Every structure is written in structure tokens, then in C-alpha cells.
Amino acid sequence: MKTYAIVIHGGAVTMDPSKLSPEEEAAQRHGLQESLQAGWEILHRGGSALDAVEAAVQSLENNEHFNAGRGSSLNMQGEVQMDAAIMDGRTLNAGAVNSVRYVKNPVSLARMVMEKSEHVYIAGDGATEFALQHGLTMEAVHYFETEKARKEWLEIIQEEEKQPQEHDTVGAVALDQEGNLAVATSTGGIEGQQKGRVGDSPVLGGGTYAANEACAVSCTGDGEVILRGALAHEVYALVKYKGLTAPEACREALHLRAEDLKGDKGFIAIDKDGNVAVESNTNIMRCAYRIGDEQPFVAVWREELP
């Protein structure tokens, strides 16, 4: 059986450890395990990397303990606006959406854009209308507005001087048995963000990129910093042109122009040879991976990483 592997993340963030309750940590670990299993089963059966990353990210979007889909943050107006992207490393085909509302699984909408549209990127009402036209599952506003998200939003709007908070993202990268790479990234954005704000997640080369000749990479952390550094493409370029492995490339990209690109940064990646990478400069890096039939690895804290 050929090499296959999947890596997922549920977001990198720097936070006071005391603010993560044992119950929340356990729920996040369980969610990571479920997501990993959903993607791994597809690869194990000989399915495509593209199907695997979509399934893994769908699982996280359906879980209110992660900032994507159902668990999305609320913008300054108290609304959900979700972003997502997916990319096929075999063909470089991709789909991306931003400022989406009502769509249960934005990652599936991104794939629908990739496969059923002549465009790569559709935003706002146009993306939502595209989802309706193609029969994707929609949900009412209350489905997305979790108690946690509403509480965080109220704290922000009640403190005029409080700035939007850096929040996290979910993503997956995979290598299938045919040697094809794929990536998917999805986010609910930042708590209290400006309406219409676009982070790194749906931007190809910003927070999402995959190409068979090098690697697949998904970023998480401070979206503005990741965008300014084009960090997903940076990892790709380090693998393709410098000949680094995925772990080496992620470590180097993490410290790229550190004085200019200050902020939370995290990466998951897998290269064409099956080397998997998880890197961050945060104390929390929710992640999981599984290589072939090896035992799965799941972590919430960066200190747990090998």
C-alpha cells in the first residue's frame, strides 16, 4: 500500500491556560479525533485527498467547539460571516468563498465553486445564492449563534476600546495513495471583526495552498499577519525551490521577517514524500495527524508536539 497521510488543525492561539476548562479541552480533543477519522477513512479506502480534506473540515464545521461553521465568531454587527477555500494539488483547481451566511458547510460551497463555476472566488450574497442554486444544506441564523460566540460578542461591543480578538481557524491537508495532495481551510473569522473583512483562510497562497510537486499547507493564527507574509505560498516555495521538507519549510516560514510579521502563526503541511508538519508560535495548537496505519496523534497544547 502506498504512503498516505492526513493532518488537521483546529486553530492556533495564544491564551491564558486557565481559560481553557478541562471540559472544553476534552471536547476539542474529541472533535479533532472525529475529524481525523473522517478524513483518514477515505484515504485508507483509497479515496482522494480532496475528498478527505473536505470530510475532515466538514466535521470541524459541524462542531461548535471550533471557529468555523456552527462555532463561528460574530462580527461587529453580531452576524456570522464565514470564509473557506479548497485546493486540488493535482490540477491546481481551487474554490474559495468569503462573508458567507446560512451555509452549513462553507468548505463544501468552496468545492462547489471549484467544480461548478468558471470562477475561483465568490463572495457575500453571491456565494450564498450560489449555494442555494446548487442545493447545499442551509441553516437558520440561530444554528450558528452559539452561546459562547454571543457572549464573546457582547463583551466586545460593551467595551468601546476593546479591539477585535485574534481567533482561530480549521484546516486539513492530505496525501492520498495516488500521490495527490489537497488542502481545505475554513473559518468563522475574528470576534467583533469589521463586516466584510477577509482573512487569510480563503486566499490562495495566503492561508491555503497545495501543489503536487511540493506540498499542501493550511495556516491558522493572525490572518492579517499571514496574509502580509503570503505564508502558505512561502512554505510551498521553500519546499519547491529550496528543497526543504514540509517540517523544515514550516519552521523557516514561522520565523520569516519576525520583526515585521509579529503575531500568532501556525501551520500544518504535508509534502509529496509524506512528511507531515505541525508548527506554531502559540501555546495552543489544536491538531491531529495520522500516517498510513500508524497510531493517530492528537494534541491541544504546543508542548505536546513531538
* Residues taking part in catalysis: 169
Q: What are phi and psi for residue 181, nearest 5 degrees?
A: -105, 155
Q: How far apart are CA 242 and CA 256, in angstroms?
A: 15
Phi then psi dihedrals of residue 125, to 5 deg: -60, -35
* Per-residue DSSP letter, 295: P
Q: How many helices (H) and strands (E) does the chain have?
A: 9, 12
CB 48 within 8 A of CB 42: yes
Give SS3 for 268: strand
E strands, the chain, in order: 5-13, 82-88, 94-100, 121-123, 170-175, 181-187, 208-211, 215-221, 265-271, 276-280, 284-291, 297-301
The secondary structure of residue 50, as a DSSP letter, is H
Q: How far apart are CA 109 and CA 134, in angstroms?
A: 9
Compute the distance between CA of residue 85 and CA of residue 203 in angstroms, rounded to an integer: 7
DSSP result, 184-210: EEEE---BTPPTT---STTSBTTTEEE
